[in-house]
Structure 1
Amino acid sequence: MTRWVSESLYEGCHQSFRADKILYEEKTEHQELIIFENDYMGRMMTLDGIVQTTDRDEFMYHEMISHVPIFAHGDAKNVLIIGGGDGGVLREVLRHKNIQCTIVEIDASVIDMSKEFFPNHSKGAFEHPNCNLVIGDGLKFVKETKDRFDVIIVDSTDPIGPGQVLFTADFYQDCSNILSDKGILVTQNGVPFYQADEVTNTYIRMSPYFDYMSFYVVAVPTYVGGFMTLAWASHNPDAHKRDVIDIRKDYEAEGFKTKYYTPEIHVASFALPPYITELMQGRDE
């Protein structure tokens, strides 16, 4: 009998994917994990019924959440990833030369399953000599660490379950405290067409702790609803304005190829449609 895995993230609608083969299913200490194969999307992972990643379109999200802040900074040496247990962000970060990356993931099972079932996501990044893997609570880590980071990337689930604490004002303040003078914070921030409150709430909660706070966008087919927003906050109010010519020089110097990210898309991604900018004027819950 055919099994369909359905995602009911938005009120009044859902999307379903045919599970041609269930590869793994477990309720871990923190969340319910399902990994399955779909003929079109390849291997897919859901956590608590919400699609997290697929073989077919993962590069779009992982490239944009990683390369935009690193190239915008221009001289990042120390990067922190909160979450990101599938290894995709880590893979992209460590493509940059001379970067030391700490990744803090609360659920070791997600890493183990991703390495087994999504090997192309990490491509050995967890074993990279510049990777410092910490299994622990990201909220606690940013509050207690004495290290400073040039870029912080929060690759979290949506603000439900264990990911909810990573969308709070206290967490954003702690991130601000451990950023370097020109540091940049980027966080996963949902699809604003359906998850409008996430933009409003993040803007209000994050803005007080940074010299500049806004969003940039990426289109990921699996995250249905049009543009996905990535929250952007920095102690450098001009980091998002870096010239495309300068970005291209750094991009070409790194010597790697991307499938979504380009310096031109980098600059264009900060141009927000009015329906998103209007959400930044709303009220916190």
Structure 2
Amino acid sequence: MTGWMRETLHRDHAQALRVERLLYDSETDHQRLQVFENATFGRVLTLDGVVQTTEADNFIYHEMLTHVPILAHGAARRVLIVGGGDGGMAREVLKHPGVARLTMVEIDAGVVAFSKEYLPMLSAGAFDDPRLELVIADGAEFMRADGPDYDVIIIDSTDPVGPGDVLFTDSFYGHAKRRLAEGGILVTQNGVPFLQPDELIGTMGAFRALFADPACYLATIPTYAGGPMAFGWGSDGDARATPLDVLEGRFAESGIATDYYTPEVHKAAFALPGYVRRLLA
């Protein structure tokens, strides 16, 4: 297969990526997985025809959903990822030497298996780290159950269609808050607000009811077309107000090398343009 992959996630907008070579195409119990090569973006993963991540630009998404909450928290020992079967989020979390335990809950074992084979550069050895506990289960059911508390919870969900839909509900967020330790932080992916405003509006409505500090921040990721992507932030602590000099000290001490995240970008990401502010009003 060569030609073009056309993504039609949005009603009035589509994007196309050239398919240089199709590497994988298979239907699992939950979704259709495809991996193909593109000259600009490298290997591209799609689920049901929607781009999930690429070899070239995944670092932006993964760095901003991990380093922002972990460095803002400052003492995160236990981290939970819901989703993230490609391993990219785990890769970034495990760069933090202070993280003693990372639990990753992925609904589809097939995503993990084929990511190890076809997208090994995304996990970069994260699945072999002894600090990682991989749980194959429904994320919503896992969150409802009793279990340990977490300092940071990262919801690395697909868009709210199919099996990812339940991860955008008020009840799911309520259960997630119950699993946060004191001072804990919940972060979520909430789509591109210009084209998917309802995702952010719904999550922020729930966060305002649940958290003392509900907020969102932004990052621009080329293959998530339509403007910057929004990430939800929920906490009852004051970690979002961590001063720049403190973030700089924590970042330097971590020894982590990044391609997008910097402490300055961290602070600036919470400065929202007017149209996003109006969605939150």
Q: TM-score, normalised by structure 1?
A: 0.96
Does structure 1 conserve the Cα–Cα contact (< 8 Å) formed by 2:66 and 2:89? yes
Residue in 1 that maps onto 2:92: 92
In the TM superposition, what is the alpha-carbon distance from 1:2 to its structure 2 partner? Answer: 3.6
Residue in 2 that maps onto 1:4: 4
Q: Which runs of 4+ in 1 moved over 2 A?
A: none
Trace 1:162-177 onto structure 2 (pairs within 5 A).
Answer: 162-177=163-178
Trace 1:164-203 onto structure 2 (pairs within 5 A).
Answer: 164-203=165-204
In the TM superposition, what is the alpha-carbon distance from 1:203 to its structure 2 partner? Answer: 1.0
> Secondary structure at the residue paired with 1:97?
coil
Which amino acid in structure 1 is aligned with residue 259 of structure 2?
K
Q: TM-score, normalised by structure 2?
A: 0.98
Cα displacement string for residues 193-229 of structure 1 (whole angstroms, at most 9, x for unaligned residues) = 1001111111112321111111000110000111100
Q: Distance in 2 between matches of 1:28 and 1:59?
A: 26
Residue in 2 that maps onto 1:65: 65
Aligned-residue Cα RMSD (Å) equals: 0.9
Cα displacement string for residues 107-163 of structure 1 (whole angstroms, at most 9, x for unaligned residues) = 011111111111111111011010011011110111103200000000010011100
> Secondary structure at the residue paired with 1:10?
coil
Residue in 1 that maps onto 2:41: 41
In the TM superposition, what is the alpha-carbon distance from 1:98 to its structure 2 partner? Answer: 2.7
In structure 2, the gaps of 5 or more residues are none
Q: Does 1:29 align with 2:29?
A: yes
> Secondary structure at the residue paired with 1:13?
coil
Residue in 1 that maps onto 2:219: 218
Residue in 1 that maps onto 2:50: 50
Which amino acid in structure 1 is aligned with residue 206 of structure 2?
R
Q: Does 1:150 align with 2:151?
A: yes
Residue in 1 that maps onto 2:118: 117
Which amino acid in structure 2 is aligned with residue 215 of structure 1?
C
Residue in 2 that maps onto 1:133: 134
**Aligned sequence identity (%):** 49
Does structure 1 conserve the Cα–Cα contact (< 8 Å) formed by 2:152 and 2:180? yes
Q: Distance in 1 between matches of 2:247 and 2:239?
A: 11
Which amino acid in structure 2 is aligned with residue 186 of structure 1?
V
Q: Distance in 1 between matches of 2:241 and 2:268?
A: 10
Does structure 1 conserve the Cα–Cα contact (< 8 Å) formed by 2:2 and 2:21? no
Which amino acid in structure 1 is aligned with residue 23 of structure 2?
L
> Secondary structure at the residue paired with 1:226?
coil
